[in-house]
Amino acid sequence: MNKIKWKRIMLVLLTGIGVTIIAAGSYWWNLAATTFTNIQEDIERKESEKRLEEISFEEHDPFSVLLMGIDEPEGEHDPYQRSDAIILVTVNPSQKSTQMVSIPRDTYTEIVGHGKKDKINHAYAFGGTKMTIRTVEHFLNVPIDYFIRVDMEGLADMVNAIGDIKVTNELDFKYKGVHFEKGSLQLNGEEAVAYSQMRKDDPRGDFGRQERQRKVISGLINKGASFSSITRVEEILNAIEDNVRTNLSLKEIWNIQSNYKDALHSVKQHEIKGEDGEMDETYYYMPDMEYVEVLSAKLNSHLESDDD
C-alpha cells in the first residue's frame, strides 16, 4: 500500500482551501487572511542555531518543517499535552524531492532545555513547541525552519466541517465504544479521532497508529479535493483557526504551493530504526544512533546545510 505523502498533506491542508477561497472572491480571501493571522505563533526561525541564513521561497531555497499532532491530557493526574505525532519534512525543489522522517513518540533522547533524557513527546509537555523544535533539531542534528502544529482532537472538528471521510481499514478492533471492522469505513469526526488514537491493540504499536493517522488525513484530503460547498468554507476556516498553529504566513504557504510542486514527484520516507527498551518500569523506544547519524547526513545534504 502506498503511504500518504506528508508533504502533500501539509500543502493541501493549509492551501487547498485557499484555491476555493480565491474562486469565491475577496470576502473569503480576507476571511482566510484573518484566519492565518490568528493561527500565527511567534517562534522565529532565527532562534535556531543550526540555520542562520534567511529562507527565500521565491529563490526556491530548500527548507524544513516540523509537523506536530498534539494529543489531549490523559486525565487530572496527568494534565500535560504531548506531541502524539512528530514528523520532520525536508523539501529540495532543485532536486525535485521531499524527505520525511516519522519519529516514534517514545523515542529516548535528550530534552533540550530540560536537563535530562526522556521520551521525545514529553518535550511538548515540558516546554511547548519551542522545546519540541529544539529537541528534534538536537536529536537529528538538522535545522528546523518552520512548524505546523495540529490539535489531534481538532481533527474531529475538521472532519465534521467537511463531512464524513472514507478509509480502508486493515485491522479489526474496538476502541472507545466503536467497532472498526475491516474494509471500507465512513467515519465522522469523533470516529476518525478514535480510529487514529488506538495503539495498544495494534501489533505494530505506534507505527500502526501512525499509519492510521495518515489514513485519516488522506481521507480528509480526498474529501477536500471534491469539496464544492462554498457555504461551508467559514466552518472549515473556523476549524483551522481553533486547532492549527504555525509560523508560516498565508503568503509563504501560497509560495510553497506555487513554487515547490515538483518536489512531490520523488518522496522518500524514513522511520527511525531502534529497539524496545525499559527503564524504571517505563517503556522507551531506544533509537539506533548510528542509523540516526547516517540519516542526519542525508537530511543535511538534502537541505544543503552544514551538519556541525
- Smallest CA-to-CA distance from 20 within 8, 4, 6, 31 is with 31
Q: For the chain, what are the domain ranges?
A: 6-303
**Which of 30-39, 70-79, 172-181, 220-229 is the least confident region?**
70-79
- Long-range CB contact pairs, 231-236, < 8 A, 24+: 232/161, 232/162, 233/17, 233/20, 233/21, 233/24, 233/28, 233/31, 234/31, 235/161, 236/17, 236/158, 236/161, 236/162
Q: What is the mean pLDDT of residues 220-249?
A: 72
pTM over 0.85: no
**23 pLDDT higher than 60:** no
CA dist 292 and 4 (Å) reads: 23
**Which of 12-16, 251-255, 279-283 is the least confident region?**
12-16
Predicted local distance difference test score (pLDDT) of residue 25: 54
Predicted local distance difference test score (pLDDT) of residue 216: 81
**Which of 1-15, 151-165, 170-184 is the least confident region?**
1-15
The 10s digit of each residue's pLDDT in 160-181 is: 888 888 999 999 999 999 999 9
Q: For residue 270, give the amino acid letter.
A: H
**74 pLDDT higher than 80:** no
Q: Which residues are CB-contacts of 116 (< 8 A; sequence separation ≥ 6)?
A: 110
Class at the top of the CATH hierarchy for domain 6-303: alpha beta
Q: For residue 186, give the amino acid letter.
A: Q
Q: Is residue 208 very low, low, confident or very high in pLDDT (cuts 50, 70, 90)?
A: confident
The answer to whether residues 108 and 117 touch, using CB atoms and an 8 Å cutoff, is yes
In DSSP terms, 111 is beta-bridged to 116
The answer to whether residues 100 and 270 touch, using CB atoms and an 8 Å cutoff, is yes
